[in-house]
Each structure stands twice: as C-alpha cells, then as structure tokens.
Structure 1
Amino acid sequence: MRTKGELHWIIPDCYIPADSSGSLESHESICVLNINPEDALLSVTVFFEDRDPIEGIKVYVAGKRTKHVRTSSLKKDEESIPVGVPYAVEVTSDVPVIIQYSRLDSTQPENALMTTMAYPLA
C-alpha cells in the first residue's frame, strides 16, 4: 500500500510582508494534514539569506487532524522570523504528512491570497 504523505518538505519562497491595510494582517501559514492515526512531530528549520538558520522548531500535529501554523508564531528560544525578510523553510516529520503553504498579502486594499503545495523530498 502506498504511503500517503512524505517525511521531508521544502518551501523555498517565504516572506512575511511588513505592512498590512484594513483589518486583515499579512501573514503566511504552513498548513499540515496528518491523515495517520499517530500524532506527528515536525521539526522546522528556517533559512535566511544573510544569517544562520533557526533550527529545530518543534510543531505537533495530532493524528487525523490538520494544523495551520502561522510562520510568525514559530520561535526557538527567543528567536523568530522577522517581517520583511525573505526566508525558506524545511520541514521534517516522524510520520508522513501533507504540507501546503499559504500567504495573505494585505499590503494594499485589494488583498492577495497565494497558496501552493510544498515540495516533497521522497
């Protein structure tokens, strides 16, 4: 039987806009679907152009559940992702999961919503 999901995912194009307009805040989310009965333990690494990565951020996703993780909430010790800075994300999981990535850009009154599947590394 084919496994549903992967253990290793890459999201190369990430950016939290520094500005928002109106009542919606610009943000990005890593959307995780765990269709397995077991809970998933994810490890997130955030890469930057000009600084060392933030490594080993832990995220739990219950079995047969989904979780939407705003990247602005990811922290390791007191280090977090700054707004207005390009970054990339690597996600590993101890059970196969499916990952989608979404960005809401509300820097203008005409909001833009982008979503794409993350790149799975088999």
Structure 2
Amino acid sequence: MSRKGATHWVIPDGYIPVDSSGKLISHESICVVNLHEQDAHIDITIYFEDQEPIEKISVTVKGKRTRHIRTSSLEKGSKKIPAGVPYALEIESDIPIIVQYSRLDTTQAELALMSTMAYPVDN
C-alpha cells in the first residue's frame, strides 16, 4: 500500500462552546479522508485537563471516502465531551489516513470558521 497519509494523528486544542448565537450551532469536526481501497478502522481517544480520558471510540471510514465526525457526537457508553471543557484528541488508524480539524464558533454574531491539519505523529 502506498503511504498516503499517516496512521497516528493528534489534535491538541479542542473546545465546544456552551453558547451559540443565531441559527448556526457552534461545533467542531474531525474531517477524515481515506484514499485507499480498504476501509480505515479508527480509534479516537479524548484527553481532558482534570479527568480520565475517554479511550478508543471506534469509527470506520470506508475506502475511497471521506467522513466528517462532529466531536460532540463522540461517545463511549454514557461518556462524551462536555461543552465548555477543553480537550485534545488522538486518532489512530490501521491504515494511513489524512485528518483535518475544523471549528465553527458562533458564540457571537461575527462567527468564525477555523480549520487546520491535525499533527501527524511519526510511527
């Protein structure tokens, strides 16, 4: 398999605002593209400043597809990311993928959209 992407990614700055204004809801997304024929099996771990991580939330991205995963939808059992709490993400995949991170902040009328590539960890 050619190496298009990486198998280990980190996003150190996450934060889901408590409030939104207007019609749009503030949110954050992990944007994943799988450039390979086979499905990518991904484990996502969420880290916090003052509580234990939520480990290994499993997600599949089908071959030759993209998937946008809202971080507010990530949960394991009854555990999920609370709004208003800083967090970080670790994404591990069984095949190379490409990961981008996006944030829509609508806490004020002058909303902001930010997007950046996640940090690929050398394996």
Q: Report if TM-score (shorter chain) is over 0.5.
A: yes
- Name the % identity: 62
Distance 1:89 1:121 in 2: 13
Alignment-derived partner of residue 19 in structure 1 = 19
Alignment-derived partner of residue 96 in structure 1 = 96
CA displacement 1:30-72 (0-9 Å, x = unmatched): 0000000000010000000000000010011000000000000
Structure 1 moving runs of 4+ over 4 Å: none
TM-score between both structures, scaled by the size of structure 1: 0.98
Structure 2, unmatched stretches of 5+, are: none
Distance 1:35 1:95 in 2: 10
Distance 2:78 2:84 in 1: 18
Distance 1:56 1:119 in 2: 18
Alignment-derived partner of residue 71 in structure 1 = 71
Alignment-derived partner of residue 32 in structure 1 = 32
Deviation at 1:2, TM superposition (A): 5.2
Deviation at 1:78, TM superposition (A): 1.1
TM-score between both structures, scaled by the size of structure 2: 0.97
Letter in 1 for 2:46: V
Going from structure 1 to structure 2, the CA distance change for 1:91 and 1:33 (only over 3 Å counts) comes to: same
Distance 2:29 2:71 in 1: 6
Distance 1:42 1:19 in 2: 30
Letter in 2 for 1:5: G
SS at match of 2:72: helix
Alignment-derived partner of residue 112 in structure 1 = 112
Supply the RMSD in Å over aligned alpha carbons. 0.9
Structure 1, unmatched stretches of 5+, are: none
